[in-house]
Amino acid sequence: MKRIYLIIMMVATLTLVACQNESGSEMKIISLMPSNTEIISEIGLLEALVMVTVSDDYPEAVKSDKISKIDTFNFDAEKLIAENPTHIVSHESVNRGIESEIERVKKATGAKVLVVKDATSIEDVFSDIESIGNFLGKSREANNLVERLDNKYTELKSSIQPKENQRAIVFLSPTPEVYTVGRDTFITNTLKVAGMDNVFDDLEGYPVVSNESLIKHKPDVAINLTGMSASDFREMLEKTPGLENLEITQFENQCTPDVNTVSRPGPRILEGVKSLASCIE
């Protein structure tokens, strides 16, 4: 019994040390992006997280009531201040609307702040992992993670063949006005790695496209990232006026991958590439 107790104490001590910063004080990390949270967890700092977003759902432990939640679309700086964080890991896409509030939290708590750049490629994701690792004192763990992912990425690219007549549209929202992705975006790059071209590569960012534009571009494949089930997505396309002559109304030309692994620029992105590549043969 004494031996078991000593082992438990050793494990607890090691966990505490792993979650301390350079000064030896306890790290208290706030993550303002689900992909950041996944990276932080993967490099061994899950126990140091004190707050994540309401959208965070991976790993499972972040759903715990022990970790506070923040809605970045209804940002409340006082909630962050109450956590007295040592580190805040924000994101370029989030920070645009709350920059002054983050600065207020920083001044009130003395927290260090990292704004992760908006990735437009898988290589950018690797850079983001390294940036977060450096910021949180986990450079070695981050570099090891990137090395593992990069090796898998090399193998994955060599196993995927470009697909003919697979010009895809990505649905981020349902018809009639569809939010989709244009060129120089992370999801477009992921599509390309998976062997497909983005039919709306002539647009930038995350545009809204009409049914008329959809018909004009004549996509071969529909990628469902709306959060709808495959059956509901199929029914939506079948009932949308004007799309009946498009290939994407055929079920075999519709792909419903895991939304989070495809859209989050984090350590599970290669799972997303695999699901896209195997979704439509």
Nearest to 217 by CA among 196, 202, 234: 202
Single out the residue in 155, 186, 220 at which a domain terminates. 155
Q: What is the pLDDT along the chain (281 residues), one digit of tens a residue?
A: 444 333 333 344 444 444 555 444 599 999 999 999 999 999 999 999 999 999 999 999 999 999 999 999 999 999 999 999 999 999 999 998 899 999 999 999 999 999 999 999 999 999 999 999 999 999 999 999 999 999 999 999 999 887 777 899 999 999 988 999 999 999 999 999 999 999 999 999 999 999 999 999 999 999 999 999 999 999 999 999 999 999 999 999 999 999 999 999 999 999 999 999 988 76
- pTM of structure: 0.88
Is residue 79 located within the same domain as residue 116?
yes
Single out the residue in 128, 155, 182 at which a domain terminates. 155
Please report the beta strands in 38-81, taking only residues with DSSP state E, as ranges in sequence order.
49-53, 68-70
- Domain extent, residue 175, equals 167-279
Supply the CATH number for residue 245's domain: 3.40.50.1980
- The answer to the question of residue 98 being in a domain is yes
pLDDT of residue 162: 76
- The answer to the question of residue 78 being in a domain is yes
Is residue 46 located within the same domain as residue 141?
yes
Is residue 134 located within the same domain as residue 183?
no
What is the pairing mode between strands 29-31 and 87-91? parallel
Single out the residue in 123, 155, 187 at which a domain terminates. 155
CB crowding 71-106: b at 16 or more within 10 Å, else e: ebeebebeebbebebbbbbbbebbbeebeeebeebb
